Every structure is written in C-alpha cells, then in structure tokens.
A and B are shown apart, each in its own frame.
Chain A
Amino acid sequence: MSGQTLYDKLWSQHLVKDRGDGTALIYIDRHLLHEVTSPQAFAGLRLAKRQPWRLDANLATPDHNVPTTVKERAEGNAGIKDPISLIQVQTLDDNCDEFGIEEFRINDLRQGIVHVVGPEQGATLPGMTVVCGDSHTATHGAFASIAHGIGTSEVEHVLATQCLLAQKMGNMQVRVEGKLGRGVTAKDVVLAIIGRIGTAGGTGYAIEFAGSAIRDLSMEGRMTVCNMAIEAGARVGLIAVDDTTINYLKGRPFAPAGELWEAAVADWRELVSDDDATFDKVVTLDAAEIEPQVSWGTSPEMVTGVSGAVPDPDAQTDDTLQRGYSRALEYMGLKPNQKITDIRLDKVFIGSCTNSRIEDLREAAEVARGKKVATSVALAMVVPGSGLVKRQAEAEGLDQIFTQAGFEWREPGCSMCLAMNADKLGAGEHCASTSNRNFEGRQGYGGRTHLVSPAMAAAAAIAGHFVDVRTLDTTTAHQEA
C-alpha cells in the first residue's frame, strides 16, 4: 500500500463516521466567525432551540464592515455610519454575548481580519480542522491543517454539532522548485500557479503546496499562498509542518505551552506527506521562471508577468475563453497587446487577508521609503490586517514611512478588498491591489482591480503605473527562511 498524503492523514484523524453514501462526518477543531456570514446561522440555532456544541472551539471578530479611518474607529461601533453595516456588527456582538462565544470586538487590539487573527493568536494549529463562513479560510492550511470556507447553513451545522458533513477531496500537489528571483514574492508564486492551472484547476481537490521554493517561504508567505488556493478552485490548500511552522507558533496566546507543547510538537512532526504517497494530480513550476505578476482581467487566472502584455482575445482558440477575454478587456478598459507597465493607476490598496501581515507591510515600506506617491494617484492606502500588526508596524516606524510618502495609514479590517465599508473604487478606476479577487465590481461598482504583491503595489503607487520592482534599486529579496 502506498503512503498517505498530509491531507489523507488529517482526514482520518478527524473522521467521526463514514456514512457509506459518499459523505462523512468530520470533527471540527476550530470555528472562526465574522459578522457577514453568521447572523442567519445564530438565528437558526435560536429558532431550533439549540446551543453551541463546544464554546471553546469558536472565536469571532468583526472585519468586513468595520470602518478603517482613525476618526470613525475612535467611536467604536457608533463610528459605523452605514446603519445596515452597524446592525450586522452589533448582531455579531449580541450573538457572541448571548451564546458565550469569545469575540475580539471592534477596538480590541486583537481585532482584525479573521484569517490574520487566527494564526497570529495561535488559534490555528497544525493538525486541526479549521472552518469559517469565508472562502479564504484556506489561509490556515499553511499550518498543515484542513481549513476551508463553509456556507451559512454549515456555520449553523458546526455550531450545533461540532461536525461537518463532508466529502473527501482528491489529492493534488503543486510543487514549486528552485529559488525565487529577487523581488519575487509568495503572492507572485500563487498568482503564477493560478495563471497556470486556472480558476477551476483545483476544483474538487485539496492542494498541497510543496517544493523547495515553498519550504523557503516564511509562515506569512505560506499563508499568502494558501489564502489563494480558493482562487484556483480548491477549497483547501495546505503545507507540511517543518521548523518554520513550529518556530512561528511558539509562545502564541492560544498555543499549548510546557509539556503539552512538547507533546504537540512531536505529533505535528508527523504532519507531512509520506515519501511514497501518491497524488491524483501533480503540477510543477520552476521558481526561477516566475516574475512579479499583475492581473489584467476580471478573474485571477487572467494574470501575466510584469514584463508581459494584455493578451489579444482574437488569438485565443477556445470560444468561451475568447468571449471571456473580450468581456474582461471591455470591463477593464484595456486594449489587446497593451504593455502591463503602461497601465495607469488611480488608487492603490495594500491590505486584505492575502497581504496585510507585518512582512507584507515591511516589503511595501521598503519600496516607499523616501519616495512620494504619484500625484496622479488619487488614493493610496495601507490597511494592516489586525490591531497587533498595526502596533508592530508603528513600533518599527513603517507608518511614518507610508504617511511621509503620501499613503493613508488605516485601522485594521477587510476594507477595500471587497468594499463593504466606505473604502471603495469609483467606476472606471484602476487599482493596484494586494487582495485576492479582481471580479467585476468587487472593489466598488465599475472598479478595475489589478492583483499584485505589496512591493509591486507600492512601486505602482510611486510611479503612477505598473513598474517592475526588480528594476528599483531599493528592493531586496524578501524570502526570509
């Protein structure tokens, strides 16, 4: 018998019951909640007179609707000007109170984007199953956990039963081998992967990211990669445990300590795919060939290297692709064969659960240091992923670098990643964004999103159009081991 993949091992460790009809009951260790996808689930519990199965498995924080300006945030929930958003945040607070769930509220230092908060607290541990009513839950797979997004009915199901009815996914491995070039980051790696396999390339699979270039990434870089597994169609992205994982977790508030820590580490060391494990699908990329990426269209697979150009729809042989490309170019206001570096930007957004951690901010600050945002850029904003990231950045003086360069320095939240709060693009505006989705209207009605790394976003803010960060002499490689 061949060996087990990491995903196989995690699956069998959580299998409560195989139902014999293609579905299984899977036990859930950690359930993260935010204000958007939970209210109807709590209402359902109340209606059925059910109680949460296990309170300590749950952790909540508001992130999507919270305002990010200092002035509004100073007022707490009252600073949320949109009455409907306010009700939603208030409802999360009330539900957590009523049911006894721990919540980091709006101005708690630990509040932030749920996928930044979980790992930062050590609430995401290797060997866990982690779910949240949010598709970017895949982020937590960087810690060798099965982590994926669920719908609101499933949020209610997990609250009530601590389990999910699930189907085992296929095993897919994406290997990135070799060394990344200078100025090429985890974000570029994952965009290049999506460009290669497409937004449905991982549908039905759990993708394990492997290879020397993945192992060389920091935990934060690994989270960036797993975060976007869902953009490749895979609900689950995961990476094996190694010293990087263990060093990151040591001393985090929710992580075990003392003897329990030692026992946990010994267990976590097993969380790797066996050498003789077989995968249903394997894709390999050469790290050295990956250049800084920029998306030009309205799907994350519509992406190319910064030295490239917008494709010509007429050159596509597939009919559906051809129409998709034409529609995307029309929406994006771009011409076939236009050079990526000729795309001018109106706004720049550095933030989101993909790229709002301290290393992301350091990377962007290094490019922005001593420079000025181009006058043609109407707004360049930096939104840290959590209150703790913000405090750390301020301790390092990054906020000063950003504000002196003309960036706005904001309070933590999802912000313009999906524009549920006041931060949004106007119709027709082009934005260099470190977020994860460039769908039509995602960052504001008619807005045009280009997905890039933090360094590329900062460089674009300064130049007013895309530039290859590798040509700037301020940048250095950011792949700390």
Chain B
Amino acid sequence: MKKFERLDGLVAPLDRANVDTDLIIPKQFLKSIKRTGFGVNLFDELRYLDEGQPDQDVSNRPLNTDFILNQPRYQGASVLLARRNFGCGSSREHAPWALEDFGFRAVIAPSFADIFYNNAFKNGILLIKLSEEQVDRLFAEVEASPGYCLSIDLEAQQVVTPSGEALSFDVDEFRKHCLLEGLDDIGITLQSEDAIREFEARHRAARPWLFRDVTEA
C-alpha cells in the first residue's frame, strides 16, 4: 500500500449525495480478475455518453462534457469533494481501486458508507469527514475559484484551504498509522499468530460444532 503523508491536491467537486458504488464503477467492469486498470472506467455512466464495456479502448468514446472530471479545470484532480453517504451500496473494492487508479488520494464528504470506508483506507485513500456546513462552503469555494487546491496533512489531521484556514478532521489511530506507514494489514495480524491459535483452540473446545472436521467426523 502507498504511504499517505501530505497531499497538495486539486479538488474536483461531485455535487451529489448517496454516490453508490455502482455509480463509481459499474458492474460490467467487475469481471476483471486484476486490481488495476479501473481508472478509465471510474464513474463510467456519468463520464461517457455510451455504455462502456470491459477491455474497451476508451479513447474513441463520446464524453459527457458536462461531467466534472471531463472539464479542463479539474484535470489532474487528486481530491474529490462529495456529499453525504458517499460509497453506499456494494462491497466492491473495485470502487477504491478505480478512484486510486484515476489519481484520487483523498475524498472529502460529510459521511461515508461503512464498507467503502474500510476498503478505501486499505488502498491508501484517505477519507475525510467534515461537517455539512464545511462541505457546503468548500463546494462554493471550489466552484468559484479555478485551480482550487487543498493541502492535506494527515499527521496533523488538518485540511488547509488556499486562504490558510485549517479544518481539523478525525481519523482513528490505527488507520492513520497504517496509512502513514503504508502498512499491510495481513502482516500486522500475523504478528498475533499465537493469540489467534490460542483463541481458536478455546473456541473449538467451547463450540466444536463450528468446525466442520468435527461435525463431519
């Protein structure tokens, strides 16, 4: 996983609540058995005017020029600003894979859906919850000033606006640590291998029917 320390990034505003994972990456692209290459199909149904197919060359597809990610002023954006309940719907990790592959490293919204929240952090994407009022204000500022960038400092847990205003955000210790260090969860968990084995032995003794080698014996 990529480390996340600081980010000075151009902000793209997606003015929409309840952005679901079907919208972030439609199901036909879930057929891939790889975890890369989803960026060109991020928000496929909003971005293109036709129906996309997996493994298709997107360079000739008709673009929806109204969509923010197709507007010249938002090219190269790495911070996505959105409305509440971002990432609701399915558990597809293809959603953060697509965001990351496209170049987003942070998403700012008033709230996020639970599974998406987990998935994003596991892929080096920082999710920042700000209040509805703060998000409202950022939308107004982004739309009013082309080239609007935010400076995000994970260590200090702050988003700094171009005018120098600092907005603090919460992030739990563990996720912050993993992101700052670029740590992989499996490696961390396997450091507790003995604890898992001990637990498993007790669990098996207390509730043997949970183990199929017991029920089938």
Contact = CB atoms under 8 A, between A and B. Distances in A.
A323 B17 CA distance: 9
Given A256-B215, A320-B84, A203 B113 contact: yes
A40 B34 contact: yes
8 contacts: A48-B186, A127-B207, A254-B212, A256-B215, A299-B18, A323-B15, A324-B16, A441-B22
Given A161-B196, A167-B172, A150 B115 contact: yes
Interface in B10-57: 15-18, 20, 22-23, 26-28, 30-35, 45, 51, 54-55
A440 B186 contact: no
A175 to B, nearest CB: 22
B200 A88 contact: no
A85 B192 contact: no
Nearest to A442: B22
Contacts of A125: 209-210
A165 B185 contact: yes
A260 B85 contact: no
A420 interface: yes
Interface stretch (B86-94, B141-149, B158-166): B86-94
A68 interface: no
Nearest to A133: B91
Q: 3 tightest CB-CB pairs across the interface, nearest first? A: A256-B209, A39-B33, A151-B119
A127 B111 CA distance: 31
Given A22-B173, A157-B185, A65 B33 contact: no
A149 B91 contact: yes
B3 interface: no
A25 B189 contact: yes
Interface string A399-426: 0000000000000000000111000000
A48 B35 CA distance: 16
Q: Which bucket holds chain B's interface residue count?
A: 35 or more
A133 B177 CA distance: 25
A154 B119 CA distance: 8
A22 B172 contact: yes
Contact of A135 (B16, B23, B90, B214): B90
A57 B189 CA distance: 18
Contacts of A22: 172-174
A149 B95 CA distance: 15
B122 A153 contact: yes
B18 A199 contact: yes
B195 A17 contact: yes
A43 B210 CA distance: 28
A439 B172 contact: no
Given A260-B215, A264-B209, A420 B33 contact: no
B26 A441 contact: yes
A281 interface: no
Q: Which bucket holds chain A's interface residue count?
A: 35 or more
Given A22-B174, A233-B114, A260-B215, A40 B91 contact: no
A134 B122 contact: no
Contacts of B91: 37, 133-135, 137, 149-151
A163 interface: yes
A472 interface: no
Interface in B190-215: 190, 192, 195-196, 199-200, 203, 207-215
B188 A203 contact: no
Contacts of A379: none
B114 A204 contact: yes
Given A151-B122, A161-B196, A440-B22, 5 more contacts: A36-B92, A152-B35, A154-B119, A199-B85, A320-B84
A157 to B, nearest CB: 5
Contact of A149 (B115, B172, B190): B115
B123 A153 contact: yes
B33 A25 contact: no
A84 B52 CA distance: 14
Given A22-B172, A151-B115, A16 B199 contact: yes
Interface in A247-272: 254-257, 260-261, 263-264, 267
B192 A16 contact: yes
B22 A151 contact: no
Contact of B114 (A163, A203, A254): A203
B32 to A, nearest CB: 7
B122 A84 contact: no
Contacts of B28: 420
Given A133-B91, A165-B174, A441-B45, A154 B118 contact: yes
Contacts of B105: none
Given A125-B209, A437-B22, A27 B203 contact: yes
Interface string A137-179: 1000000000011111110110011110101000000000000
A151 B122 CA distance: 9
